[in-house]
Copies of this chain bind each other. A is one copy, B any other.
């Protein structure tokens, strides 16, 4: 039930995104292209704002982080050194029946999304196989079998087998997966071992590894010598240019290099709207720190998390912090940032990866998750990667990645903390978080349902709507245009003179515009001089309107959007 509600909610959000020009399917007139999405007029502004705020908070407002903008196509050896050529793979199977490709590790997840997969799951309530409901279901009481499943499923044989098992305690299917295997296969020898195709129930081939990097060739003739890859992450460019930045930027360890840019992953099954797409954008920071032993040599003691009294200590970076304190610092910094752009702390989760989940080079990884309607999923990973990446590039290129620390009089390969965020999934989180349905009075005061996008003013695509009360009164229009021109150099303005004022408000509510300014006859001084050059300022969320002097609009609004 909750699941259906979540699916319906996502459908309404996807529909709003299309209708309001936030997100369109890429190449829609040609039937779209799976895993690629375009940002429309509002979406492009929302994305620009988010990237700008990230960059401002990390690069402009700090002395210890500097920017970089590297190419998407790099020398292919970069990806050999980083390990991506050899290990950036997913397991993939082909269905022998319907020939579709499936990510083998996602089969059960995909299955659970199919209506018939959900039906099967219901046949094992509490891990108890029940013959009667299965029988009813299979005989067609309202639930259609998947076409492929119907073809290969010999139900009488399956039921006979299950009856036989019922005689031997412990051998009956305990889970939907096990039951599905019973249904999907005719061959008792492989029962419970065959993975079913989530699309048709057919048999999948054993998994093969396939590399997620998009391949291309640089130069006019395709050959093995000039293969190149579209970067699957922006991070490696930062490691590759570490020495150049160090030598030209006057930075000293600890310091960071930040980059925003496109990355590409040839996902087998892109899904959840823009959450997992094939072309996406990342915002990555590599923050280089002293190895603990250098800190110890310098400060006598390494500040460890256990030594510090709570989070209060974690706002002012200290040179004698050990890696685990830096790591925790960045986790907290990043969560603070998400809160600053309007994601409530309660919508976020902090997930510390278990030792067995960590990549072999990682000392610790924290995922910051957002509670999407389709599940709680990762927005950002913050990994303590040690000196793995710089050392790999040093080994492969033969170029030193060492840093000479003048204060410590020591030469070392810096360690790194990597806060790595996905722009598109953050945009999706902001959209899900902003989406609200409530009631608002129409022009006659009757309450009607409205959709409001409660974007934080900082990220809202349009900051203020400017409306002359009537479009056929030149003096109102002239004044409204003057207000538009006053505000426009400082914030994004949408000027709208079409239709009843209530409908214009409603349109801006759906666009998530936090403020509305209406120029009426009072503004012109027709009700007396005390209201002259005042306008109504309307708040999107409370729908309250107040009278504000035109001169006071900028001083009032600017602090709210910065």
Q: Could you tell me the distance between the alpha carbons of A424 and B157 in the complex, rounded to whole angstroms?
A: 68
Copies in the complex: 2
CA distance A36 to B222 in the complex (A): 18
In the complex, A41→B42 CA distance in Å?
29
Report Cα–Cα, A19/B247, bound state, in Å: 8
Which residues of B lie under 8 Å from residue A309 when comparing CB positions? none
Taking the complex as formed, is A150 at the interface, i.e. its CB lies under 8 A from any CB of chain B?
no
Q: How far is the CB of A214 from chain B (nearest CB, A)?
A: 5
Is A393 positioned at the interface, with any CB of B under 8 Å from its CB? yes
Chain B residue nearest to A66 (CB atoms) is: B41
Stretch binding the partner chain, chosen from A22-30, A332-340, A363-371, A545-553: A22-30
Considering only residues 253-297 of chain A, those with a C-beta below 8 Å from chain B are: 262, 264, 266, 268, 278-279
Which residues does chain B contribute within 8 Å of A24, judged by CB atoms?
241, 244
Stretch touching chain B among A68-76, A318-326, A514-522: A68-76
Q: Is the CB–CB distance between A33 and B492 below 8 Å? A: no
Indicate whether A37 reaches chain B with its CB closer than 8 angstroms. Answer: yes
> Is residue A450 contacting chain B, with contact meaning CB distance below 8 A?
no
Least CB separation from A490: chain B residue: B562
Complex alpha-carbon distance, A42 and B28, angstroms: 38
Given that A101-B221, A218-B278, A266-B218 are known contacts, is A397 also in contact with B245, CB under 8 Å in the complex? no
* Cβ–Cβ contact B69 & A43, under 8 A: yes
CA distance A78 to B38 in the complex (A): 14
* A279, B73: Cβ atoms closer than 8 Å: yes
List, in ascending order, chain B residues with CB within 8 A of A399's CB: 29
Residues of B within 8 A of A67 (CB): 41, 44-45, 48
In the complex, what residues of B have CB within 8 A of residue A492's CB? 60
Q: Give chain B residues whose Cβ lies under 8 Å from the Cβ of A250.
A: 496, 498, 507
Question: Could you tell me the distance between the alpha carbons of A218 and B399 in the complex, rounded to whole angstroms?
Answer: 35
CB neighbors of B among A62-95 (8 A) = 63, 66-75, 77-78, 92
Contact B241 A70 (CB under 8 A): no
Q: What does DSSP make chain A's interface, helix, strand, loop or mixed? A: mixed
Contact A495 to B27, CB < 8 A, known contacts A38-B241, A241-B38:
no
Tell me which residues across on chain B come within 8 A of A26, comparing CB atoms: 70-71, 73-75, 237
Given A27-B240, A218-B278, A241-B24, A41 and B249 touching (CB < 8 A)?
yes
Given contacts A30-B397, A221-B101, A230-B216, whether A20 and B262 have CB atoms under 8 Å apart is no
Closest to A89 in B: B220
Binding site for B on A (CB under 8 A): 18-21, 24, 26-45, 47-48, 55, 60-61, 63, 66-75, 77-78, 92, 101, 210, 214-222, 228, 230, 237, 240-241, 243-245, 248-250, 262, 264, 266, 268, 278-279, 393, 396-397, 399, 488-489, 492-493, 495-496, 498, 507, 562
Task: Pick 27 A–B contacts, CB within 8 A, sort by A.
Answer: A27-B75, A27-B240, A28-B240, A28-B241, A30-B75, A32-B75, A33-B228, A35-B218, A36-B74, A37-B71, A38-B70, A38-B71, A38-B241, A39-B68, A39-B69, A39-B70, A41-B68, A41-B248, A42-B248, A61-B488, A71-B279, A73-B214, A73-B278, A101-B220, A216-B216, A219-B266, A262-B262
